[in-house]
Amino acid sequence: MFLIALTAIPSASISFSLALLLPFLGCILSGGTDIHLGMPAVAVLFAIFVLYMARTVHVSFMDKVRTQVANDRLVQDLESMQNDLLDAIKSTSEGFAIFDEDDRLRYYNDKQLDISGSMRDKIVPGILFAEIVRATSPPLQCEGRELGDKEWLEWRLRRHLKGAGSLQQQQSPGRWNLTTDRRTRQGGYVTVYMDIADMKEHETELAAARDDAESAKPECLTLMTHELRTPLNAVLGFSDNLKDESYGPHSDARFLEYSRDIHDGGSHLLPIINQILDLSKIEAGKYELMEEGFELEFPFNDVRQKMGQLAQDAGLTLSLECDRGIPGLCGDLHTIRQILINLIPNAIKFRPTGGIVTETASRQDPAEGDGLLIRISDTGVGIDEQDIIKALTPFGQIQGPVNGNHQGTGLGLLLVRSFMPLHEDEMSIDSALKQGTTINLYFSSHPLIERNAA
């Protein structure tokens, strides 16, 4: 332990202490007096004190030296890291600027100067961000908006001071920047400018391609449905002859059963194809209306003829009523017939056996306009508000207790909603769970045909 302690003492201090003790050791060896014997004791204490102080000073000095060396190395490392960071910022393809807590420019790279344009000569350390913005012309548009000089300055400073993230600016035709503002931990600001002209050009190309695809979709659907409907009509015609045994009885009873299945499948598929064809025509703006004057009894009778058996098979009562003396309507009879025929299956689909589906036609309340109101109501399970939105989307299927095997395609209600605006008419749906559903069709833009008083 003693030897370890000595290693922390400078050798000069040890040599000085030994030189101090040597005369006293000589006196003791030559037989000195009591005074000669006391002086060595004092010298020994003095030497111990000297050694202790030397050790303490030496240890403190060495600690300071080591600390200074470590600090120097740390400073060198930090300077090296800072230089590497500044070199990276300088070589980056984005404009980069750092502002202190007083919003004064501290550092910027060459790309920032290129982006500054006419402000290039004024970009110097210490300039305020507000001065840079004030001397810069406002962009053609920013985040889709056009801003005047004063409005642009206030809006840009507010975004910058909040560190509010990214914004897109069109500086000139074909020149776009993505600017990002962030706050630093020390209270300063970092602003990064990125050239996104290529990205915007790519977005424009994608949008044009998407528009071309959207415009081609209705024509494609129309062509597809025509190609499907033509052979399907032939399948229905031949299967109808086979199931009716028009050319004589079948040699095998299974042929009759198969022909009926083929005819039923084709009959189910044909209205689906017609619905898709009508939707594609409406979407393409090519659906043509053939307006004519008619009495509402005509479409009501068609509904009764086509939907009566469906309601009866489902165990429901289908009631069709027109107010007495109701005027006729000038419109597209085929379209209005399609509207009514598409709504009745929906009214039947989720109705329990024994329910009632009612379709009425009446003159609209004069306070709401001069027109006709057709109302389809039922006593079924009702539709939740969120499901109404779903039912009005393409192929939207509402989950619920389905009456019989009538599944539907999810196009009927959407087709009705698409038909109504063709005449500038309106549709509304009133429904609640377990309270039934009522669909109101307002035909207020059609000329009415008053009946002659008899």
pLDDT for the residue numbered 2: 46
Question: Taking the CB of residue 267, how many other CB atoms lie within 10 A of it?
Answer: 13
String of b and e for 420-436 (b: at least 16 CB within 10 Å)?
Answer: beebebbbeeebeeeeb
- Give pLDDT, residue 46: 67
**Do residues 414 and 392 touch, judged by C-beta distance below 8 A?**
yes
Residue-level pLDDT at 117: 66
Contact 418, 411 (CB under 8 A): no
SS3 percent helix, strand, coil of the chain, rounded to 5, is 55, 20, 25
Helical residues (DSSP H) of 92-196, grouped into ranges: 110-116, 129-134, 149-162
For residue 41, what pLDDT is reported? Answer: 64
Query: pLDDT value at position 319?
Result: 85
List of long-range contacts for 378-381, beta carbons under 8 Å, 24+ apart? 378/347, 378/351, 378/436, 378/437, 378/438, 379/351, 379/355, 379/436, 380/347, 380/350, 380/351, 380/352, 380/355, 380/436, 380/437, 381/350, 381/351, 381/352, 381/433, 381/434, 381/436
User: Model's pTM, two decimal places?
Assistant: 0.49
380, two tokens? 């079924």
Three-class secondary structure of residue 358 per DSSP: strand
What is the rounded CA–CA span in Å between residue 109 and residue 89? 7
Using alpha carbons, list the distances in angstroms from residue 342 to 274, 345, 408, 432: 12, 6, 10, 21
Distance CA 407, CA 401 (A): 10
286-342 residue pLDDT tens = 788 888 888 888 888 888 888 888 888 878 888 888 887 788 888 888 888 888 888
Q: If we measure between CA atoms, which residue out of 397, 370, 366, 382 comes closest to residue 439?
A: 382
Distances (CA, A) of 184 to 2, 93, 101, 163: 55, 22, 9, 9
Q: What is the pLDDT of residue 407?
A: 52
Q: Which residues pair with 426 in a beta bridge?
A: 442
Residue 403: what pLDDT? 44
Residue 171 CA to residue 192 CA, distance in Å, equals 15
pLDDT at residue number 335: 87
**Helix 253-284 × helix 197-243 angle, to 10°:** 150
**Alpha-carbon separation of residue 72 from 60, 80, 413 (angstroms):** 18, 12, 79
Q: Which residue in this structure is represented by tokens 């909040």?
A: 162
Task: Please state, in angstroms and rounded to a whole number, the distance separating the CA atoms of residues 305 and 85.
Answer: 82
DSSP string, 162-192: HT-EEEEEEEETTEEEEEEEEE-TTS-EEEE
pLDDT tens-digit readout, 150-163: 888 888 888 888 88
At 293 the three-state DSSP class reads strand
Q: Please provide the average confidence, as pLDDT, over all residues in the chain.
A: 77
Residues of the chain short of pLDDT 70, as ranges, are 1-47, 116-118, 214-219, 221-222, 225-226, 350-353, 365-369, 394-410, 451-454
By DSSP bridging, strand 356-363 and strand 328-332 are unpaired
d(CA 22, CA 18): 6
